Structure 1
Amino acid sequence: MTIPSLPTPPEPGVRKPLMRNDPFSQPGYTDNFYDAVGGHETFVKLIDVFYDGVATDPLLRPMYPEEDLGPAKRRFLMFLEQYWGGPTTYGEERGHPRLRMRHMPFRVTPEAKERWLHHMRTAVDSLDLPPLYEGTLWDYMERAALSMVNSPSDTQG
């Protein structure tokens, strides 16, 4: 019977990039989720992939009245970066997030929430985060999406 060998740990002082299935892949210590998952570049990718889906979604796209999604992408990026411990640009430019108030002009139905989560799931998956970070981020997205629902379903049932 062959016993599988364990992975070889890196040499002391050598950091390996953060990889999902490598037990020795760890970021440097931080008490900050934003830094732990890769900072600005990670959140830019999250937002870019998310809005790629929104741009072609017939239910969600009308909720973004600006012809160019760029301003919405920037606001969401700033919000998420600040929420997770990154730059505080959102608060400096826009004040308190007031998420429910900012979403009230739009009919956010359970169907819209599900479409939003569909595109966000694609975006979160694209990051290939380690399970703990992925779960933490996804849990927040699910709770945030649910809290934005402000209208009943469009379907009769």
Structure 2
Amino acid sequence: MNLIKKIFAKESKQEKAKQPDTAYDLLGGEAGVRALANEFYDIMESAPEAADLYAIHPLPLDTIRQKFFEFLSGWTGGPGLFEEKYGHPRLRARHLPFKVDCKMRDQWMFCMNKALDNCVQHPELRENMRASLDQLASHMRNQ
């Protein structure tokens, strides 16, 4: 390997070490992703704007909170915890037993938008996640 390639390879490794690679890293790893998942459900439990969404969730919310954290972990580029336990998320198929119309989608996004605002400090990451999750929520509609 010539000297220029060695220097470039070294600089590239140093830059990579300085910059987080994934949304998972930017969120603060496991603790940040768990905080986002919990904030989402805290909002859903308490916001009158999400009453219909809350009503279709089995109580207590401990299991669904954990599953959502596991999903978000892999979705943000961290460990694929959901896939390890349950296989491919197949989100649309998993949501087919529930009526997911525009109203439910909007209530879900209301909770997620508040959670993103409260938990994601990095503005570009927050807006990128918001756009991606908005698209995902729209895809879940089955009514």
* Range of TM-score over shorter length: 0.7 to 0.9
SS of the residue corresponding to residue 55 of structure 1 reads helix
Q: CA offsets, 1:46-105, max 9 Å, x none? A: 1111101222432102221x2210111111110010111111221110000000000000
Partners of 1:82 and 1:39 in 2: CA distance: 11
- 2:35 aligned residue: 45
- 2:118 aligned residue: 126
- Per the alignment, do residues 128 and 35 of structure 1 end up closer, same or farther by CA in structure 2, a change over 3 Å counting? closer
The 5 Å alignment of 1:28-43 reads: 28-43=18-33
Q: CA deviation at 1:111?
A: 0.7
Q: CA offsets, 1:99-140, max 9 Å, x none? A: 000000000110111111111111000024222111111111
Say whether 1:138 aligns with 2:130.
yes
- Which residue of 68, 78, 101 corresponds with 1:76? 68
Q: CA offsets, 1:33-53, max 9 Å, x none? A: 211221111111111111012
Choose 43-52 or 104-113, whichever is displaced more: 43-52
Query: Structure 1 residue runs of 4+, over 3 Å off?
Result: none
Say whether 1:63 aligns with 2:53.
no
Which structure 1 residue ranges, 5 or more long, are not aligned? 1-26, 152-157
RMSD (Å) for aligned C-alpha atoms = 1.5
| Counterpart AA for 1:28 | K
- Per the alignment, do residues 100 and 128 of structure 1 end up closer, same or farther by CA in structure 2, a change over 3 Å counting? closer
| Counterpart AA for 2:54 | R
| Counterpart AA for 1:149 | R
SS of the residue corresponding to residue 134 of structure 2 reads helix
Q: CA offsets, 1:5-42, max 9 Å, x none? A: xxxxxxxxxxxxxxxxxxxxxx9312222112211111
Which structure 2 residue ranges, 5 or more long, are not aligned? 1-16
**Per residue, is there more helix in 1 or in 2?**
2
| Counterpart AA for 1:97 | P
| Counterpart AA for 2:103 | E
Aligned residues: 124
